[in-house]
Amino acid sequence: MRVVGVHEDVLVCTSAIWQTTCTIVRGPAVAGDEQAAREAFVVDSPVLPHELEALTALLGQVGWPCSGLLATHGDWDHLLGRLAFPDAALGVAETTAARLTGEPGAAARELRAFDEQHYVERGRPLQLGQLQALPVPGKLEVGAGELELHPTEGHVPDGMAIWIPWAKVLVCGDFLSPVEIPMLSEGGSRSAYRATLERLRDLVEQADHVVPGHGAVLDGVRAAAILRDDLAYLETLDLPLARRSAEQRRVHESNLERW
């Protein structure tokens, strides 16, 4: 697992599987009490067991107490924070809470299928427990700051992007990936995907860094270029030049079936 600091309050961990990202955000210091311990949220998750174990060690090393988990959407590979922090509350958009409640056990089954296919052993099964449904659009306090929550339907029927205003970092889930084309999963929508990209445009223009759900952290200029390419793909169905691998061609064929 690769770990990079993009701000004094933001760490990004990238899994060896699908370059899945996990973002750790610490709340800003309270004025006049800069030495006090500051709470932190873990957004999404790495995939492999040793990466999840390293996540808990990392927070201990930097001294950031985990106050809760957030997931940008309900795909199983973004929900594994429960395995690293089983007692932490898991906050998701109201749309994601509805999806996961309507599909009880689906994430655990999909994780089990992945593990069986790749011979991965885990100490315990995934249990999501009680979810904290967050109103989106909305805000969430973290220490002396607030995270902004923005809706991101289109890839799947649920989800949220997280804007960290004091760090100028956008965590956007499975959008704006440098390694994946726009992907319409079950319940996804081409028109909703385009609407989400338009909604994210202003945030991308403000961002110093953009963290996609899969792939390397982007600066604002690169993220804006990917956003334009993704809008063009949704309009013309022409694959972006930098994302024409065999796997992305397979995703493209799947998209065509859903459109």
Q: Using H for helix, E for strand and C for coil, what is the string for 51-94?
A: HHHHHHHHHHHHCCCEEEEECCCCCHHHCCHHHHCCCCCEEEEH
List of residues 6+ apart from 112 with CB closer than 8 A = 125
pLDDT at 33: 58
Q: Model confidence at 35, in pLDDT bands (50, 70, 90)?
A: low
Q: How far is CA 248 from CA 39, 78, 110, 182, 243, in A?
A: 38, 20, 21, 9, 7
Q: Which domains does the chain have, with CATH numbers?
A: 2-258 (3.60.15.10)
The residue type found at 162 is I
pLDDT of residue 187: 86
Instruction: Quote the pLDDT of residue 245.
Output: 93
Q: Residue 34 pLDDT > 90, yes or no?
A: no
Is 177's pLDDT higher than 90?
Answer: yes
Handedness of CA 178, 96, 134, 112 (dihedral sign): negative
